[in-house]
């Protein structure tokens, strides 16, 4: 099963990963990182198909997908 990891410290909440995920795995979280952004969190890990569209779309390279 694929695993999505988000580096919350560098996420700037641009939401490009959320928009590019075909399975609705990600959502904007309620917690803030040290920079004051409400970073993206994984809300539906089991739906991930490891397409890596979220990681490709992330301008800050804050997402890693592990198989």
Residue 16 confidence (pLDDT) = 98
DSSP 43: S
Long-range contacts of 11-14 (CB under 8 A, 24+ apart): 11/37, 11/39, 11/40, 11/60, 11/62, 12/37, 12/59, 12/60, 13/37, 13/38, 13/39, 13/40, 14/58, 14/59, 14/60
Which domain CATH number covers 10?
3.30.70.20
Q: Which residue range is the domain that position 21 belongs to?
A: 3-66
pLDDT at 35: 95
Q: How many domains does the chain have?
A: 1
Kindly report, residue by residue over 2-54, the tens digit of the pLDDT.
Answer: 999 999 999 999 999 999 999 999 999 999 999 999 999 999 999 999 999 99
**pLDDT of 54:** 98
CB 41 within 8 A of CB 6: yes
| pLDDT score, position 6 | 98
């Amino acid at each position: 099963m694929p695993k999505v990891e988000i580096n919350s410290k560098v996420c700037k909440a641009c939401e490009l990963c959320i928009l590019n995920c075909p399975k609705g795995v990600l959502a904007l979280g309620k917690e803030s990182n040290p920079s004051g952004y409400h970073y993206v969190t994984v809300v539906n890990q089991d739906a991930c198909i490891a397409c890596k569209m979220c990681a490709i779309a992330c301008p800050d390279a804050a997402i890693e997908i592990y198989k």
